[in-house]
Amino acid sequence: MNNDLLFLTKKIGPRISGSVNAKKALNWARKRMLEIAPDTVYLQEVVVPHWERGANEKSFFNTGRKKTEMKVCALGGSIATNGLLQANVLEVKNWDELDLISDNEIRGKFIFFNRAMDPKEIETYKAYLGAVDQRSIGAIEASKRGAIGVLIRSLTLKADDIPHTGAVSYDINTKKIPAAAIGIKSANLLSAALANNPNLMYSLKMECMALPDEKSYNLIGEIRGARFPHEYVTAGAHLDSWDLGEGAADDGTGVVQTLEVLQILKNLDQRPERSFRAILYMNEESGAHGAVQYAKEAREKNETHIAALESDAGGFTPRGFRVDGSLTVVKQIKTWMELFAPYKMGEIYQNQRGIDLLPMKGLSKALISLECDDQRFFDIHHSASDTYDKLNIREVKLGGASMSALSYLILKYGL
């Protein structure tokens, strides 16, 4: 597992969908699956967006003759600035504050969304959910009011100055405007400067571009079930990553854990009762096109899916699983958790959090995401800090073991 993670992160690196590196990662993963030698390894075609960041991201503000540099990165899918975009800035922390500003005041300016993740929230994922809307729809809401661009406080609790990217959404009925994330120290600096001088001039340059959609693939390795071959249990992760960092925690760990589950099940003395699929999805980060395609074809084939598992929580210490399913399904899974308890990963939580599982809702009896300790995840999430050295391979292996054990139980006993 360690060699796989090292190769994926160090030899291939970031793997944004549509890129050369995404193709390299797909070819490498296919080779690894063929080495494991399940019954079949096959590609599932999917069309994905192709966006490139470009070079020379630059941002600064002027107060009088003083120029202060900002640490920024374009949000994934953003349009370019077409040169140096300069304007005044209006800072808001929530939608109510934006509503209180007139269109005349907003027109021709940047909107600076400066709502921090809540540091008092113990579960950092909840803190993330409490702030992510400004990144996802901020450009739409600001553009409706006449803004020329948006600046988003990075979604992290770490007080550094490394910007965190992530997908920005646009509306076909609303003009697209450039969208950038600002490092935490830069965001605090800009906020303080605006308090002293609301009329400061802000400058932003980004050369990102949307290229034509690319043909890509999900990668699937299948072991045929001995008794119920037409009942499927799947475990998966997303092969793509953002273009910053190495895509280690998000989701290189999930990729190698998925390969580990396939390897362990292949090494068993006997076939599983039901069929198992290891799925490496393409394009979770900017639309989940791979997951949507997989679910679409599963529905068209009228397949019976018992459970769909996913690892996309950073690869840190596993705590248990998040399960969406009927009361009967959840009760059954809970009866197995005493087997996991000695390893301190036997908790069951509500509401799975796998983006690539959502298209399977209503098709699979259970949607299950691996739950990991999340205190460090958003320190590196979607940033240049998402590198191999931030991980503990022992934690990654524990996650792979827990995924393997639960997959085996469901394959054997069903739900």
Q: Is 284 a catalytic residue?
A: yes
Q: Strands of 364-372's sheet, edge to edge?
A: 40-52, 209-223, 274-281, 228-238, 304-310, 364-372, 318-325, 347-350
Q: What are the residues whose beta carbons fall under 8 Å from the beta carbon of 59, sequence distance 6 or more?
A: 69, 70, 71, 72, 180, 182, 186, 202, 203, 204, 205
DSSP H or E run through 106: helix 103-106
For every residue of 230-267, DSSP letters joined together read EEEEEEEEE----SSTT-IIIIIHHHHHHHHHHHHHHH
Q: What are the residues whose beta carbons fall under 8 Å from the beta carbon of 304, sequence distance 6 or more?
A: 230, 231, 232
Backbone dihedral region for residue 135 (phi beyond 0: left; psi -120 to 50: alpha; all else: beta) = alpha
Tokens of 315: 């690869």
Q: What are the residues whose beta carbons fall under 8 Å from the beta carbon of 266, sequence distance 6 or more?
A: 36, 37, 38, 223
Peptide bond into 251 cis (omega under 30): yes
Tokens of 295: 């679910």
Residue that the structure tokens 């290229």 belong to: 211
Q: What are the residues whose beta carbons fall under 8 Å from the beta carbon of 382, sequence distance 6 or more?
A: 155, 164, 165, 166, 242, 244, 250
Contact present, 193 and 164 (Cβ < 8 Å): no
Contact present, 248 and 390 (Cβ < 8 Å): yes
Interatomic CA distance for residues 164 and 183, integer angstroms: 7
Q: Which of 91, 273, 284, 310 is catalytic?
A: 284
Q: Which residues are catalytic?
A: 284
